Homo-oligomer: A and B are copies of this chain.
Amino acid sequence: MHTSSATDQPSPDVGAVDEETWRIRRTAADLERLGETESIFALGNGWVGWRGVLDEGAPCGMPGSYVNGFHERREVSHPEEGYAFPQVTDTLVSAPNAALIRLWVDDEPLDIRTGTLRRHERVLDLRAGVLRRETEWVSPGGRRVRIRSTRLVSLPRRPVAAVRYEVEALDAPVELRVCSDLLANERVPERSDDPRAASVITDPLNAEAYRTAGLDGVLVHRTERSGQRVAVAVSHLLDAPDTVTATGDCTPDRVRLTVAGRLQPGERLRLTKFAAYEWASVDGTPAGELADLVTVEADAARADGFDALLADQRATLDAAWQASDVLLDGDPELQQAIRFAIFHLIQAGRPDSNRTIPAKGLTGNGYDGHVLWDTESYVLPVLTYLAPAVARSALSWRHAHLPEARERAAELRLTGATFPWRTIGGRECSGYWPAGTAALHVNADIADAVLRYLAATDDQRFLAEAGLELLVETARLWHGFGHWSDTGAFHLHGVTGPDEYAALVDDNVFTNLMARRNLRGAADAAERHPDLAGRLGVEPAEIAGWRAAADAVFIPYDRARGVHQQAAGFTEQPEWDFANTGEDDYPLLLHYPYLELYRKQVVKQADLVLAMQLCPGEFTAEEKARNLAYYEARTVRDSSLSASPQAVLAAEVGHLDLAYDLFAESVSQDLADLGDKTADGLHLASLAGSWLALVQGFGGLRDDRGVLSFDPRLPRRIDRLAFSLRWRGHRLRVTLTPAEARYELPDAGPDATVEVWHHGERLQVTGATPLTRPMPPVPDPGPEPHSPPGRRPARRSAG
């Protein structure tokens, strides 16, 4: 047995390179892609989110300063109405923006598009949790100044964000004016026709209160339709020569502190702004109370000081990274990318607010800021292992919206609960029902996330308070929705699975298997907790009905071709004419009608492959290999949700190069802006999926049966892969090299024990003894599956 000294920190010989893997850097050369940079540099803490817009607010791709759950409601109309079509939708809107600090140099505004930009660099520091900026600018009038700023959104302090802004005169005396704004109703540019973009509400906020006093100020606004009230306070510290004066003023939509004076060469002006954000229902906290609340928070942050915020931020992140960091030796660029991904996952949620994580987190307003199934099927399976309390918060948010889900089920004349496909406030906001309402699998996805969370944490309190009810009400949906055929099979007809290039299909395998898992999970939990179940009206007969349905779920299989059908009849649909599909025809949804996409064998995103990832025990190894090959040839990956499940299955089947290339695509989604959509916000599911690609793909983690099993196999590019999983209160550390796998509980006492399986061998890992096991050779899986022409991921696996 090795007594390896491997730790969570990189080994010293790769120090300099590794340092860069903790940073994301953008310079003047990147100014072309402002919107993308703003998303990448977004800071958040699961409550407040600031897009990485330049301090001065311009040039700007899209402003954004969000508070989780704060939204406006707007009416939607349908060219042809239909029963239960949503008539209103939630739209993420910005709270007042406290990040703005504008500078005038001898009356010329700092704008990097004017004058001369001598140096411009912004760095997102993944360990410090700050965005640093350094700009050296010569004004059109010839005045040279250096601007340094540091911005953070405090991870430990929910309402707090802050920015320290410093300007230095370099060559000659300059007259400076610095305006620090808190600004409501910032203009948002109109967006494209792309169905995936957001809609714009002009001036969504109505002022209720505004005041300024000394270096402080506060704005309170409310939305017109959603009945929400938001308050933002700012509090400043000024450190500048005596020649500099500060004056405050405010209007209903703006609090401004103006700092003005003359700086000699070498002199600096430093302005630190502390902001605090809260929102509440209009019927809840009165405006004055909310204003006082944020004022106290902002003042407290100022009293503690920016350095204290920095230290707290670092400490919080140190702990988070200890739980979350992944080592990927052999590919520094993707080492950086996976850390970037994990950083944004850490930022996206909170353990203490019972809020969920939208598809874009709080990094942009893509998908109108809605939460979709991505959260439960991609993000929470990761957070369950890295930050289980955050997963619990997000699931508790679902539970808090059970009343709306029950109402929706009743409206749809279904049983149990029907959770919305898209929402912020809990009600269905999908404007296209065949890909929204019909995608009932979201309900099983929620149940699946509950089951995974419970398996990893054994959190009995959550089970009693929320988990069981979520399982029961979703099981009731499936039991009522399905029907029995003459041959005794249980069918789910007319639904839409994950693949959005199909809709209203019968017996989608993913949906059916997830429904089975939902039904059995509910039955198991109800049987284990008969008292709790009884309070929900669950009788043994109902449980028996769930089990019968689960056992009889129909799984369509094409015997002639030896593959599962994504949905009944899929393999008999016409093939897509890839030969006549040009590179510019992708994404297909922008160039072909659903009429063509739906009826043909073309797959937008992993669907059957995702079923094999999430329900691995339902397929034999041979089926997995054949299915992967069949669907790989028909999957175009027009969705960022696709690469990671494909990577996991490619790795399982043994196509490690393909798996690695798919992982690379998933983890690079935003840093390389592969879909050209990063400006709308980050693809959190893709970022989370890249962790799954590593841990489930190369780590071979399977956890669908309540135990942790690993079948690790490393791609040739990688010398070492190490990751941690939180499991029943312990941190399990897994370190993989081409030669061996090491399992340990680095933080645990000697009596702690976690059972894991390594390539079929059952191991008891204890706090006292790390275990290592050899990595078996990967059997030759045969030739790599064909991807559609031009759609194979870029080759990175060869190094």
Residues of A in contact with B (beta carbons under 8 Å apart): 76-84, 86, 89, 193-195, 411-414, 430-438, 483, 485-486, 491, 493-495, 503-504, 506, 560, 568-569, 572-575, 589-596, 598-600
Contacts and interface: CB of A to CB of B under 8 A. Distances in A.
Contacts of A412: 593, 595-596
9 contacts: A77-B77, A78-B431, A79-B431, A79-B432, A80-B431, A82-B432, A83-B592, A412-B593, A493-B599
Given A485-B572, A569-B506, A82 B593 contact: yes
Main secondary structure of the interface of A (DSSP, over half): loop
A591 B83 contact: yes
Which 10 A-B residue pairs are closest in the complex by CB-CB distance?
Answer: A79-B431, A494-B599, A483-B574, A80-B432, A80-B431, A76-B79, A493-B599, A81-B195, A84-B593, A80-B195
Given A493-B573, A493-B574, A572-B485, A595 B433 contact: yes
A594 B433 contact: yes
A503 to B, nearest CB: 7
A299 to B, nearest CB: 43
A437 B595 contact: yes
Given A79-B431, A412-B595, 13 more contacts: A77-B79, A81-B194, A81-B195, A82-B594, A83-B589, A83-B592, A83-B594, A84-B593, A434-B504, A483-B574, A491-B574, A494-B573, A495-B599
Nearest to A193: B81
Q: Give the interface centre of A193, A411, A432, A435 by most chain B CB atoms within 10 Å.
A: A432
Contact of A82 (B76, B82, B195, B413): B195
Contacts of A600: 494
A411 B590 CA distance: 11
A78 B596 CA distance: 19
A430 to B, nearest CB: 7
Contact of A434 (B430, B434, B506, B596): B434
A438 B195 contact: no
A491 B194 CA distance: 32
A593 to B, nearest CB: 5
Nearest to A418: B595
A495 B773 CA distance: 56
Contacts of A437: 593, 595
Nearest to A503: B504
A592 B84 CA distance: 8
B573 A438 contact: no
A491 B591 CA distance: 24
Contacts of A414: 596
Given A485-B572, A504-B504, A574-B483, A78 B592 contact: no
A430 B80 contact: yes
A83 B494 contact: no
Contacts of A89: 79
Nearest to A591: B83
Contact of A78 (B78, B81, B83, B574): B78
Nearest to A84: B593
Contacts of A86: 79
A429 to B, nearest CB: 9
A503 B574 CA distance: 18
A433 B83 CA distance: 16
Q: Give the interface centre of A79, A430, A431, A486 by most chain B CB atoms within 10 Å.
A: A79
Q: Give the interface centre of A437, A503, A560, A595 by most chain B CB atoms within 10 Å.
A: A595
A52 to B, nearest CB: 28
A587 to B, nearest CB: 10
Contacts of A595: 412, 433, 437-438, 494
A486 B572 CA distance: 8
Contacts of A413: 591-593, 596
B589 A82 contact: yes
A195 B574 CA distance: 33
